[in-house]
Amino acid sequence: MIIFLISLYICIIMHELAHLLAAKFVKCKVEVFSIGFGKELFRFKLGGTIYRFALFPLGGYNKLKDELSYSRSKYAFTNLSYRKKMLVILAGCFVNIFMGAITFLIGHKLGIYNLLYFGWLSFILGITNLIPFPALDGSYVFLVWLEKFYGKKKGYKIMNKICLIGFIILMVLNIACIPLLIWMVMKGMI
């Protein structure tokens, strides 16, 4: 269980760090970089971004400036070109997939179980985040087109509602899976 939680925490940090670096690279302001949910363990502010770490490593996020709302700011996510939006959106998935594949292969070659485990977890996290379900990274590839059909104001308002519903569904599924996770740990499957 400890190896699972440490691996998951590292995978999430890598994923969110890739989003953060991609956003900063394209000059999009990142207001909050968060790892985990629930009770905040600690936070600090650096370069206009609040970095926070919370107790439950069931995910993380980067709050980009005006990510799902109309804005006139040149640093807002909504005002990036489609190509730059895709770089920011997909960076986390690609880092998890790439690092997962490399780590898995190294672990397999050297026979190191922990590396195999970490590599597999990272790879799966990257692939599942590409699923086009609202609130997952893969959905934004399609959802950002709502601004083309409805304009920025209405398009991002619709996108915000879709992502909120998707996020609620994902959190309910995460919580519902906790008993399964506990059972798997007790059986030695994790």
Number of domains in the chain: 1
Express as a percent the part of the chain with pLDDT over 70. Answer: 97
* The model's pTM: 0.86
Q: Do the Cβ atoms of 15 and 92 come closer than 8 Å?
A: yes
d(CA 36, CA 17) in angstroms, rounded, equals 13
Sign for the CA dihedral angle at 4, 5, 9, 10 comes to negative
Question: Of 100 and 152, which is predicted with more confidence?
Answer: 100
d(CA 78, CA 65) in angstroms, rounded, equals 8
Ranges 2-11, 70-79, 142-151: which has the least confidence: 2-11
d(CA 180, CA 74) in angstroms, rounded, equals 45
For residue 27, the model assigns a pLDDT of 96
For residue 179, the model assigns a pLDDT of 77
Average the pLDDT over 109-134 and give the result.
92
Express each pLDDT in 44-73 by its tens digit.
Answer: 999 999 999 988 777 889 999 988 788 889
| pLDDT tops 90 at residue 32 | yes
Average the pLDDT over 22-26 and give the result.
97
| pLDDT tops 80 at residue 180 | no
d(CA 75, CA 80) in angstroms, rounded, equals 8
| pLDDT tops 90 at residue 87 | yes
| pLDDT tops 80 at residue 9 | yes
Average the pLDDT over 18-32 and give the result.
97
Tokens of 158: 């619709």
Which residue among 16, 31, 40, 147 is the active-site one? Answer: 16
Tell me the three-class secondary structure of the chain, residue by residue. Answer: CHHHHHHHHHHHHHHHHHHHHHHHHCCCCEEEEEEEEEEEEEEEEECCEEEEEEEEEEEEEEEECCCCCCCCCCCCHHHCCHHHHHHHHHHHHHHHHHHHHHHHHHHHHHCCHHHHHHHHHHHHHHHHHCCCCCCCHHHHHHHCCHHHHHHHHHHHHHHHHHHHHHHHHHHHHHHHHHHHHHHHHHCCCC
| pLDDT tops 90 at residue 90 | yes
Domain that holds residue 58: 2-186
| pLDDT tops 70 at residue 5 | yes
Question: Is 40 a residue of the active site?
Answer: no
Tokens of 14: 């890598």
